[in-house]
Amino acid sequence: MSQHPEYEKWQELATKLMKGKPLDSLDWQTPEGIKVKPLYTAEDIEGLECANTLPGLAPYVRGPMATMYAGRAWTIRQYAGFSTAKESNEFYRKALAAGQKGLSVAFDLATHRGYDSDHPRVTGDVGKAGVAIDSVEDMKILFDGIPLDKMSVSMTMNGAVIPILASYIVAAEEQGVAHEQLTGTIQNDILKEYLTRNTFIYPPTPSMRIVSDIIGFCSKNMPRYNTISISGYHMMEAGANSVLQVAFTMADGLEYVRTALNAGMDIDEFAPRLSFFFGIGMNFFMDIAMLRAARLLWHNLMQQFNPKNPRSAMLRTHCQTSGWSLTEQDPYNNVIRTTLEALTSVLGGTQSLHTNSFDEAIGLPTDFSARIARNTQIIIQEESEVCHVIDPLGGSYYVESLTNSIVDSAMKIINEVEELGGMAKAIESGMPKMRIEESAARKQARIDQGLDVIVGVNKYQLKDEKIDFEVREVPASVRDDQVARINQIRETRDQAAVDAALTEITRISKEGGNLLEAALPAMRARATVGEVSDAMEKVFGRFVANTRCISGAYASEFASDSESLLHLRQRTENFLKNHGRRPRMLVTKMGQDGHDRGIKVIASAYADIGFDVDIGPLFQTPEEAAKMAIENDVHVVGASSLTAGHKTLVPGLVEELKKQGGEDIKVVAGGIIPPKDYDYLFERGVQAVFGPGTSVIDSANRTLDLIEAAA
């Protein structure tokens, strides 16, 4: 195609308006490394595979269904769960009555990690970031009055996926619902847990066997059920840019396909029930193009397996708006952020969507904020009139070109993973995790300098106005209620039947067989989630992740003469000169929360500034963190909390330091901590609290102030 006949005329006009600046100064280099021009023309999409395609037909760039939302709108599927099964059930019923179309269950971290609510390691986690499920009895309460033969249920579960899915199946049986009637999705995506979220239990090899067993059982017995939701969302939340998110998600998908094939399954037996899950951030067009690119990539990658059923190469996805993009500062801005991200998901062609609540940077969402989040989708669906046209951005010079750029960039990373032997081997090498952590550190550095604008955080800050609103708080009594129910179950069940079923699970774990099938008798007999998990752990063991700190990524985003960075580096050098060692910090996450973006960014940035930084292993107790802090002779402990355990775990750390003789060690806290709880923490010995959006530069200066004052 020849150049647009008037392109030179446009170029001349545009150059005049630049007033001496070169026209290419308008080019934007995205965090993904993609150059975005200020103008796109038909020339930019000439010959592209992604351009001029049709919805419902390979390669599915414009959507997996021929009519998309013109025929049926996406499913409004809000992710929710907290406290007890009874409270969550009441919340679900209200949401369904208000227009929600499907359920997406959030489990608490104790459940994710395969611990019963009475386990000593989960004192600060029960019911806090999701609903506590200890047995079939909890699952029955969770879905009381909700017919499981008619309701599509998505469950975000990976670590304890065997007992949780078995509990759901048994709860449905006791509603009179046959296996083949069940519809929905189990996440069952363990690979990304080793990269980002860390709610694993077992090492990778037996965990992949569990994935295969679930795919095998459900393919035969639950043909309407999606056996895996291959998730990029948690990669995005951990810091992955859009290219990294789509590349590693596709690579994970390939690994699962090969695992199922190696287990003897036919590609068309299971591939049509694979689904995906992407996170949507604030780069509007980038993430629209990412979803279109993902469908093209998956179709093309699946051709190597010679599927006969077109649905085997058809990518269907759920999306969720970004939690990380929400801010504590000026939080009502989050309503606008979520709306834009929701529209991105819709214009990108998602099949279902969760919209985050505006208060989730501060605490658990309330009924009020959840209603706004849900209505955001309903208003887009019912009032915006966007559903009448299939893929309205198809044919956009910019969107089609950007889609192609993402495909090309992602394929380079996918090929890199393949050269390492696939995603499991790549994870063992540490490559994907380090790439994501580097991306997160660079992002934070750009925000701290104001290069990436966050309204209300690093630009247009509120000066005098204080915003205060209700934040949901889960009382400590929730754990007491769960423990009481567990005790009642154990007193009334047939213990011999439970023991026999658990012994059989251990045998099958060792000798082979389908673990999901083996778990069903145990859950029917009222074994607990923790007992079933332990029965497998006897053979598989419990996985412990290595914690490493990248270096240089944060500082590399600063100019060599950056005053703020140089000032901090001078302060740490002065401390070294005056005290014979550098300021030393331990960063830790206590409890069962494995979301480690925050501590990894802090550790990397503080190391670049000149601190000596130790990173505690995940899932420490306050006692273990205090012991490590004393043994490492640190000046300060930085405790991160994202899941409402701050009122239990952080004061517990302060007390343990006193008990163990480390009362001189300062404790600072960061993460999602409601401002109303700051005084509670200060009264219990916490020296500073750094909420979401706090600049690393600011937090490092304040931390140095504390260390120097005590030196």
Q: Which are the catalytic amino acids? A: 79, 233-234, 589, 593, 595
Tokens standing for 180? 């083949």
Tokens standing for 589? 């996450």
- Are the C-beta atoms of 392 and 288 separated by less than 8 Å? no
Residue 634 neighbours by CB under 8 Å, 6+ apart? 584, 585, 586, 614, 665
Residue 214 neighbours by CB under 8 Å, 6+ apart? 161, 162, 165, 186, 188, 227, 228, 516
CB atoms closer than 10 angstroms to residue 454: 19
Burial 330-350, CB ≥16 within 10 A → b, else e:
bbebbbebbbebbbbbbbbbb
Tokens standing for 37? 């021009």
- Are the C-beta atoms of 282 and 275 separated by less than 8 Å? no
CB atoms closer than 10 angstroms to residue 630: 18
Question: For residues 464 and 62, what is the distance between their CA atoms, to the nearest angstrom?
Answer: 47
- Stated length of the chain: 711
Tokens standing for 408? 């090309």
Question: For residues 111 and 92, what is the distance between their CA atoms, to the nearest angstrom?
Answer: 19
The one-character DSSP state at 23 is: G
Question: For residues 563 and 359, what is the distance between their CA atoms, to the nearest angstrom?
Answer: 34
Closest to 562 measured CA to CA, from 673, 654, 697: 697
Residue 209 neighbours by CB under 8 Å, 6+ apart? 515
Question: For residues 131 and 424, what is the distance between their CA atoms, to the nearest angstrom?
Answer: 30
Residue entry with tokens 């759920």: 318
* Backbone φ and ψ of 603, nearest 5°: -60, -45
CB atoms closer than 10 angstroms to residue 14: 13
Residue entry with tokens 């300021």: 583
Q: How far apart are the first and last CA of the chain?
A: 70
Tokens standing for 185? 């999705």
Strand 35-36 relative to strand 28-29: parallel, antiparallel, unpaired?
antiparallel
Tokens standing for 19? 């007033």
Instruction: For residue 426, give the H/E element and its range.
Output: helix 423-429
The one-character DSSP state at 672 is: S
* Backbone φ and ψ of 612, nearest 5°: -85, 125
